[in-house]
Amino acid sequence: MEYRVERDSMGEMRVPADRYWGAQTQRSYQNFKIGGERMPVEIIRAFGVLKKAAALANRRLLPERMTQAKLDAISSACDAVIAGELDDHFPLVVWQTGSGTQSNMNANEVIANYGNARAGAKLLHPNDDVNMSQSSNDTFPTAMHIAAVTAIEDALLPEMDRFVATLRRLEEENADAVKSGRTHLQDAVPIRFSQEIRGWRGLIETPRDMLAAALPQLKMLALGGTAVGTGLNAPKGFDVEVAAAVSKLTGKAFVTDPNKFHALTAKDALVFAHGAMKALAANLMKIANDVRWLASGPRCGLGEIHIPENEPGSSIMPGKVNPTQCEAMTMVSVQVMANDVAVSLAASQGNFELNVFMPVLIYNFLQSARLLSDGLRSFNDNCVRGITADRERMRSNLHNSLMLVTALNPHIGYDNAAKTAKLAYRENISLKEACVKLGFLTEAQFDAVFHPEEMA
């Protein structure tokens, strides 16, 4: 491999000749051989956005330092970063400095060297030009918020909406299907299948509202606070200008955080938003479990619904098909709920003027958003969309349920209804037979008040 020599304040470093990163990136690359979890691409894209926005703001406020030539070079490089053309030039792992300084410098060096290569001259300096009016301490939390908002608005919310649309269709298709309800994994009173699906829909719509409520705080940016929140070395008005530029570049309404001291040290907005994702994960666990229980069988389970058969389920049992999409969705839920612990613990480490657990926090946050988005898409397209009700099985289970005796409470009382159910179970006879045998109602009276389908 061929190398070139790059320099920083600590001296010279050999860097691969075909890479745009510089000495500080190389030091981090060599010093943090920990795991294989690279900085998420969403953060890299966000750095491209914020560095271009900063250059635009600096051009307006400090034109003598940010010349048009420098702005053009930075903008061109940032566009390449945003487009994903330079992903191979961002090699750093999550397990680095807790402020994300090395990833900020990775962005500064790549943008500067790419811009210089395109300009054919040493036009840009990574610190003096690309990092002008900024600090790692305000750029990394800004990148976190940009990436989080983008992941939620552009990926997760649309998949939640698609899932809700599927559930609405299933509600309409199953409005006439009445089945046995179940509580405590035991038979309960009747419910329409559409009502059960409506419950599932609420399990998606409620955390969606929670995520929407989290977005305004996530759209507040730390940029402009520089090192400790005072805005040292940034021109007056830079924070407002750069937030406006980020908004224009992303098409999302970002604003500057009015309290930069809070913005640098606290990560409560991310904790709040991830809490909504945890709620979604918990609800998806419930939906996926309901689906696989209802589809259990095909002969020895509940068997009240059919789900798509996507692949063989066993290497030894021919013809076996498993609820694999449900299992994948529940594993996603477990990971997201586990990630919430890491997010919460990382957010608690805001010591004095800076939180120094930011890379691990955003790594887990973005993994959760990505897993939920992909998991919802897969679960919807490969399972839920193809659910069909086995109405005959539902009817059979319904009419075999002893809890239909609840309909008799107003007519014979709770205690007599309980005696009826226990006799029917003990002697394996129908509720009607038990009720008549005990002398609580005549056959005609029983038929007049006992209508299971109307109980839903």
Between the CA of residue 88 and those of 6, 81, 115, 162, 371, what are the distances in Å?
Answer: 18, 10, 16, 33, 23
Q: What tens digit of pLDDT does each residue of 65-115 get? A: 999 999 999 999 999 999 999 999 999 999 999 999 999 999 999 999 999
C-beta separation of 387 from 303 below 8 A = no
Where do we find the tokens 């609405």?
168
For 137-208, list the strands marked E by DSSP: 178-183, 186-192
Give the global pTM: 0.96
* Helix axes 238-250 and 41-61, enclosed angle (nearest 10): 130
Catalytic residue status for 314: yes
Q: What integer pLDDT is reported at residue 338 of this predicted model? A: 98
Query: Could you say which of 133, 314, 373, 378 is catalytic?
Result: 314
The band of 304, judged by pLDDT with boundaries at 50, 70 and 90, is very high
C-beta separation of 59 from 66 below 8 A = yes
C-beta separation of 222 from 121 below 8 A = no
- Amino acid identity at 361: L
Q: Tell me which residue of 216, 223, 229 sits closest to 241, measured CA to CA.
A: 223
Q: What tens digit of pLDDT does each residue of 149-205 get? A: 999 999 999 999 999 999 999 999 999 999 999 999 999 999 999 999 999 999 999
Query: Could you say which of 135, 145, 180, 184 is catalytic?
Result: 184
Q: What integer pLDDT is reported at residue 51 of this predicted model? A: 99
Average pLDDT over residues 135-149: 98
Kindly provide the b/e burial profile for residues 2-30, where b requires at least 16 CB atoms within 10 angstroms of the residue's own CB.
eeeebebeeeebebeeebbbbbbbbbbbe
CATH classification for the domain delimited by 3-132, as one of 1.10.275.10, 2.102.10.10, 3.20.20.70, 1.10.10.10:
1.10.275.10
Q: What integer pLDDT is reported at residue 198 of this predicted model? A: 98
- Residue ranges of the chain assigned to CATH 1.20.200.10: 138-180+192-223+250-390
The CATH number of the domain covering residues in 401-455:
1.10.40.30
- Residue ranges of the chain assigned to CATH 1.10.40.30: 401-455
Q: What integer pLDDT is reported at residue 306 of this predicted model? A: 97
Q: What integer pLDDT is reported at residue 378 of this predicted model? A: 98
CB neighbour class for 72 (10 Å; exposed up to 12, middle 13-18, buried from 19): middle
Percent of the chain whose predicted confidence (pLDDT) is above 70:
100
Query: Looking at the DSSP assignment, which residues form a beta bridge with residue 432?
Result: none
CB neighbour class for 311 (10 Å; exposed up to 12, middle 13-18, buried from 19): exposed
For 185-250, list the strands marked E by DSSP: 186-192, 220-221
Q: What integer pLDDT is reported at residue 158 of this predicted model? A: 98
- Residue ranges of the chain assigned to CATH 1.10.275.10: 3-132
DSSP string, 386-429: G-EE-HHHHHHHHHT-GGGGGGGHHHH-HHHHHHHHHHHHHHT-
Residue 273 CA to its chain's centroid (Å)? 9
Catalytic residue status for 274: no
- Name which CATH class applies to 138-180+192-223+250-390: mainly alpha
Report the chain's mean pLDDT, rounded to a whole number: 97
The band of 272, judged by pLDDT with boundaries at 50, 70 and 90, is very high
C-beta separation of 60 from 248 below 8 A = no
Q: What integer pLDDT is reported at residue 293 of this predicted model? A: 98
